[in-house]
Chains A and B, each alone.
Chain A
Amino acid sequence: MRFKRIYTKISNITKATCTLKAEGARYGELARVNGMPAQVISVLGDNVTVQVFSGTEGVSSHSEVIFSGSPPSLKVSDLLAGRFLNGYGEPIDGGPELRGEDRVIKGNAVNPVKRSQPSTLLATGIAGIDLNNTLVTGQKIPFFANPDQPYNQVLAEVAMRAEADKIILGGMGLSNDDYLFFKNTFTKAGVLNKIVCFINTSENPPLERLLIPDMTCTAAEYFANDQKQKVLVLLTDMTLYADALAIVANKMDQIPSKDSMPGSLYSDLASIYEKSVQFAHGGSITIIAVTTLNEGDITHAIPDNTGYITEGQLFLKQDADIGKVIIDPFRSLSRLKQNVIGKKTREDHPQVMNALVRLYADAMDAKTKKENGFDLNEYDKRCLDFAKEYSRKLLAVDVNIPIDQMLDTGWQLLQTYFKKFEVGIKEEFIEQYWHEEQTINAL
């Protein structure tokens, strides 16, 4: 057994950290303060600062600090399947202790030259995703949603429909209700054997959330690389994760950058999201996350940095005209869609998609015009009618159809409301897909 280094003289205590004199501590190693898990975040000579995950309530200047000598790790093996664990990788489902290889979380980066280009379609049946923002395995993408939107329901829905060997859920600051919702959804679908959950609920200490994404990604890497499986990682809610980062930075007296967030927020988030990967051997990690917004403000540092890291974003929006939640076609984006649309999907996909969105933009202009009290011209009116149908038949999150049908629906909408020259689609596709008999000339 390793020699345990125990200290009992803490010189400085803040809400989240303790500083003490100790020999031989290493940056990043785990420790226990009063039995509570903690991690070394700064070593200056023999001055060591640890961050106590559960907060320092009850810690006194004579509390016992024990250093473990090693950074946080997870025991990986097939036994992870079906388990519910906390931020330390400990069971919360009453099941047996984990067994397997002890792997340090936050592992090394994959060598970029060893990655494969993500180009396997990940279909969800939701046209707002599959048609406009097509996903591929190995992608990383968040839902941007206001707190009152059913983002966890949509996330669960996507997870259940997407084809994956393992689904690994990292829950950060989940409400207990949402935790139970996920659990029920997985149980009802009979997929418990292919899920792993790392859960921090709103009842748990916020700093424990800091470990969740790395634990989740370590488990994901085990299944994706060691077992060569298709892994889908769900992270919700990354905004609460970033909030926890800000707490620690603040306690460390770091100079905050925008929105009180630490200056390293970009790198911190990137180290998580970049775990998504397509391996040449077929294994992959796809990350679908949730970033909740404050009143739709995407310029806030958390969604802003996220957007700069992820391969697009899926924006949930309440469409008052049809009374449903839709995937906003303007602010949403899947940057890897180019790898599959028109190649793995029908060749008219890119053009139809773009034409529909462009015309929807015209409709929104017309709407503004109307709201400002101007008369609408004939084209404006057609656009508005089109927008409603488009929203209902294709943008709503409750749509569940195959991609070819989405495209057919798209053509049908174009022909119903527009003339050939108004849609700006390449002639070869018009010739192939524009069926005169279907045209209901709205003029």
Chain B
Amino acid sequence: MNTGKVTGVISNLIFIEAHGAVTQNEICLIHTENKRLMAEVIRITGTQVSAQLFETSMTIKMGSLVDFTGRMLEVELGPGILSKKYDGLQNDLTKMSGLFIDMGQTTPPLDSDVYYSFTPLIKAGETLHAGDWLGSVKENWIDHKIMVPFVLKGTYTVESITKKGDYLINDVMAVLSSEKGEKIEVTMVQKWPVKRAISTFRQKIRPNKILQTGLRVIDTLNPIAEGGTGYIPGPFGTGKTVLQQAIAKNSKADILIMVACGERANEVVEIFTEFPKLTDPDTGRTLDEKTTIICNTSNMPVAAREASVYVGMTLAEYYRAMGLKVLILADSTSRWAQALREMSNRMEELPGPDAFPVELPATIANFYSRAGLTELNNGAWGSVTFIGTVSPAGGNFKEPVTESTSKVARCFYALSQKRADAKRYPAIDPIASYSKYLDYPEFVENTDTSIQKGWVAKVKKCKDLIRNGLEARDQISILGDDAVPVEYHVVFWKSEMIDFALIQQDSFDDVDMNTSLERQQYMFNKLMEIGDMEFHFSEFEEVGTFFKQIINILKQMNYSPFDSSQFKKHHKELEKALQNMREKTLTEL
């Protein structure tokens, strides 16, 4: 093994004199009195190597021995990933001893002593490629595919395959032979370097189908597609985390990967506490059964923040290769960018805007491009949908992380301070936010059949209604209530109705928190029906009074289970109020 010795320490940047060839991004281990501390090579200048330490550096002595492992940062892939709580380097946090995370402590990511029930999917003699399915095991309730290792290049013939039964993850499930006659034993576990995308699929196509999140402002107004990308920027406290968790709880994804990157420990504790108690609305199983959490909270080693998002993405790609619908959420990608900045500054690199590294836009673009809807070699479909939060400095979107992300993410959920201050949650700005998928013809076509004909056109009409409402509001506040035609008030209040009944959604209410697409469709049509109605009020004060009543009824409907007697009662009230108004309008005309 290649070695070196420590020549300098500045915080978590370690300088090493190497004794042989070193590879960029190689992992090295720094010897301290009784531990080996993990670091990643981030610069090589001749024999001078700089490495970022995934720990604190207080115990490192000058001259300490360094082992270069010859391997990049890798994850272990195999059954047992689901329900796990990993740190940013895929150590299983639950297996760690003690209340505090001792320096240099590592734990195995998978359980070598758990039996999985294996069913072969192929027969001896078949030819296969990397990523092809050899067999399947039950992981929680999910059919976890055991695949031909992704690192294998070329064609392989199956020499033998294990028969149905219970096995440990390190047992040999199949023996493959390469074209050259090399024999390869395949277990349930394989390794993969996190910074490289797993791309054993046949093709990646444009997303065309809605991924339901249960949030009206997303599904109805700004839908995200299976295999799509989205980002949620917003000043602190505007609801990024709550929104992401709401998406996590209600989305119709098969697998959920949550990356807590440089954020609060209590927020992951909340996930740990709640997810085992929550049922997945889609399958009726508990939510933690389909979830893996990767947490590198803000007080955990900064260098591992970057690793954490890549670990998460790699796990997502792994499950996608099994033909599953994976949703990966990262909170917050800005902390990852900041970690890159800290390191770049320490290395005294020439900085880009706001002292971020110049390659930041490329790094972000590369990461988002790993999401996608893929057709596997066997014709099955799998997807990775990625939604990241962004925490812009000073809440100003004109900063490098937000701007770089805007160029690659297809859905934009802008959280507004003003809406959050007014407790209009989720504080998604209805005008600034968008989903580019609404402009994809294949997506439009899909909604025509899966929801209703002309759906997207209606959504766009609704957006116009909101926009007009806000313009009317501006006019009213510039000119005064009396100085504008009463019609302006109607336009404004119609948009308020959309805001209160569609956009706003109480993530802490058991009923309101999740709206099925069927219910969204029903309510949306109802709202647009009112939006299309003509009203004649004699005086502007009447407008507000009427719409407040309507809004109140609509909110009560949102709080009642769909089609329950309560719901029907409020529905009747609504119809009555509308009918009265129609009659009044008629007589006044």
A27 touches B58 (CB 8 A): yes
Determine the chain B residues whose CB is within 8 A of the CB of A95 once the complex forms. Answer: none
A377 proximity list for chain B (CB < 8 A):
481, 540-541
- B335 to A: closest C-beta gap in Å: 7
Q: A108-B103, A266-B335, A358-B422 are in contact. Are A44 and B10 (CB under 8 A)?
A: yes
Restricting to A362-383, which residues have a CB under 8 Å from any CB of B? 368-369, 372, 374-375, 377-379
* A28, A270, A311 pick with most chain B CB within 10 angstroms: A270
| Proximity string of chain B (486-501) to chain A, C-beta cutoff 8 Å, 1 when within and 0 when not | 0000000000000010
Decide if A71 is an interface residue (CB 8 Å cutoff): yes
Choose from B298, B482, B500, B559 the contact partner of A267 (Cβ within 8 Å): B298
Q: Which of B220-255 contact A (CB under 8 A)?
A: 235-237
**8 Å CB contact of B61 from A24, A71, A266, A375:** A24
Q: Is A213 an interface residue (CB 8 A)?
A: no
Query: Quick one: which of A108, A255, A263, A361 contacts B421, CB cutoff 8 A?
Result: A361
Interface pair B393/A138, CB less than 8 Å apart? no
Cα distance A369–B479 in the bound complex, in angstroms: 10
In A271-327, which residues have CB < 8 Å from any B CB?
271, 274-275, 277, 279, 299-301, 304, 307-309, 311-313
Contact B341 A113 (CB under 8 A): no
Q: Which of A29, A117, A270, A274 contacts B270 (CB 8 A)?
A: A117
Say whether A116 contacts B480, CB under 8 Å. no
Q: Does A109 contact B (CB under 8 A)?
A: yes
- Residues of A within 8 Å of B548, CB to CB, are 421-422
In the bound complex, what is the Cα–Cα distance between A39 and B88 (angstroms)? 30
Interface centre among A256, A312, A374 (most CB of B within 10 A): A374
Contacts of A312 in B (CB 8 A): 237
Q: Say whether A118 contacts B266, CB under 8 Å.
A: yes
Residue A264 is within 8 A (CB to CB) of chain B in the complex: yes
Alpha-carbon separation in the docked complex, A330 to B270 (Å): 25
Instruction: Contact check, A427 vs B556: say whether CB atoms are below 8 A apart.
Output: yes
Write the chain B residue with the least CB distance to A47. Answer: B8
Distance, CA A308 to CA B555, complexed state (A): 31
Query: Beyond A108-B103, A112-B93, A361-B421, is A45–B8 a contact (Cβ under 8 Å)?
Result: yes
Q: Please measure, in the bound complex, the distance between the C-alpha atom of A396 and the C-alpha atom of B11, giving whole angstroms.
A: 45
Interface pair A111/B96, CB less than 8 Å apart: yes
Report A-chain residues with C-beta under 8 Å of the C-beta of B24: none
Whether A274 lies near B355 (C-beta < 8 A) is no
Report yes or no: B237 in contact with A313, Cβ–Cβ below 8 A. yes
Residues of chain A contacted by B270 (CB below 8 angstroms): 117
- How many angstroms between the C-alpha atoms of A368 and B355 in the bound complex? 39
Q: Does B396 contact A (CB under 8 A)?
A: yes
A43 touches B9 (CB 8 A): yes
Contacts of B551 on A, CB cut-off 8 Å?
424
Within 8 A of B (CB), among A230-275: 254-258, 263-264, 266-267, 270-271, 274-275
Beta-carbon nearest neighbor of B560 in chain A: A427
Q: Say yes or no: A374 contacts B481, CB within 8 Å.
A: yes
Contacts of B335 in A (CB 8 A): 266
Contact of A117 among B100, B237, B273, B297 (CB under 8 A): B273
Q: Out of B7, B341, B393, name the residue touching A301 (CB < 8 Å).
A: B393
With a cutoff of 8 Å between Cβ atoms, the chain A residues found around residue B422 in the complex are 330, 358, 361
Chain B residues positioned under 8 Å from A424 (CB to CB): 500, 551-552, 555
CB contacts between A and B, total, < 8 Å: 191
Docked pose: A421 CA to B303 CA in angstroms: 53
Q: Counting CB contacts under 8 A, is A220 at the interface?
A: no
Closest CB of chain B to A294's CB: distance in Å? 13
| Contact B298 A26, beta carbon cutoff 8 Å | no
Q: B55-85 toward A: CB 8 Å interface, digit per residue (1/0)?
A: 0111111100000000000000000000001
Q: A113-B93, A266-B298, A267-B298 are in contact. Are A309 and B394 (CB under 8 A)?
A: no
* Interface residue count on the B side (C-beta < 8 Å): 74
Q: Is A107 an interface residue (CB 8 A)?
A: yes
Does A2 touch B at the CB level, under 8 Å? no
- Contact residues in A for B100 (Cβ distance below 8 Å): 107-111
Of the candidates B93, B96, B508, which one forms a contact with A350 in the assembled complex, judged by CB atoms under 8 Å apart?
B508
CB of B460, distance to nearest CB on chain A (Å): 29
Of B273, B394, B556, chain A has the most CB atoms within 10 Å of the CB of B394
Contact B58 A267 (CB under 8 A): no
In the complex, A375 Cα to B391 Cα: how many Å? 40
Nearest CB on B from A44, distance (A): 4
**A116-B269, A258-B354, A307-B237 given as contacts; is B299 within 8 A of A271 (CB)?**
yes
- Write out the residue numbers on chain A whose beta carbons fall within 8 Å of the beta carbon of B298: 266-267, 270-271, 274, 309
A43, A254, A331, A422 interface centre (most CB from chain B within 10 Å): A43
Contact partners of A357 in chain B: CB under 8 A: 423
Asked if B338 lies at the interface with its beta carbon under 8 angstroms from chain A, I say yes
Known A-B contacts A274-B297, A369-B477, A374-B481; A263 and B394 likewise in contact (beta carbons under 8 Å) = no
Q: Tell me the dominant secondary structure on chain B's binding face.
A: mixed
Interface size bracket, A side: 35 or more
Candidates B15, B99, B396; contact of A111 at CB < 8 Å:
B99
Question: Which of the 9-residue segments A8-16, A164-172, A203-211, A332-340 touches chain B?
Answer: A332-340
Question: CA of A309 to CA of B266 in the docked complex: distance in angstroms?
Answer: 11
Choice from A257, A279, A350, A422 contacting B99 with Cβ under 8 Å: A279
Q: Is A4 an interface residue (CB 8 A)?
A: no
Q: Which residue of A112, A118, A311 contacts B268 across the interface (Cβ within 8 Å)?
A: A112
Residue of A with least CB distance to B85:
A113
What B residues does A301 contact at CB under 8 A?
393-394
Interface centre among A263, A335, A350 (most CB of B within 10 A): A263
| Pair B264/A311 contact, Cβ less than 8 Å | yes
Chain B residue nearest to A333 (CB atoms) is B237
A193 touches B (CB below 8 Å): no
**A299 and B297: CB pair below 8 A?**
no
Q: Is the CB of B266 within 8 A of A255?
A: no
Contact residues in B for A368 (Cβ distance below 8 Å) = 477
Which chain B residue lies CB-closest to A299? Answer: B394
Does any Cβ of A come within 8 Å of B102's Cβ? yes
Query: Which residues of A have CB within 8 Å of B184?
Result: none
Bound-state Cα–Cα, A162 to B295, Å:
32
Q: Do the beta carbons of B508 and A338 come within 8 Å of each other?
A: yes
Point out the residue from A26, A263, A308 that lies within 8 Å of B345, measured CB to CB: A263
Sorted from nearest, which 10 A-B pairs have the closest CB atoms?
A: A270-B298, A274-B299, A299-B394, A307-B236, A44-B8, A27-B9, A108-B100, A330-B421, A374-B480, A28-B58
A27-B58, A111-B100 known; 10 other A-B pairs, CB under 8 Å?
A25-B62, A27-B10, A109-B299, A109-B300, A113-B272, A255-B355, A267-B262, A274-B264, A338-B508, A350-B508
Give 17 A-B contacts (CB < 8 Å), ordered by A residue. A28-B58, A43-B9, A112-B269, A139-B266, A254-B345, A263-B355, A266-B338, A270-B262, A274-B297, A277-B265, A299-B396, A307-B237, A308-B236, A311-B264, A357-B423, A368-B477, A421-B552
B interface with A by C-beta (< 8 Å): 7-11, 15, 56-62, 85, 93-94, 96, 98-103, 235-237, 262, 264-266, 268-270, 272-273, 295, 297-300, 302, 335, 338-339, 341-342, 345, 351, 354-355, 391, 393-396, 421-423, 477, 480-482, 500, 508, 540-541, 544, 548-549, 551-552, 555-556, 559
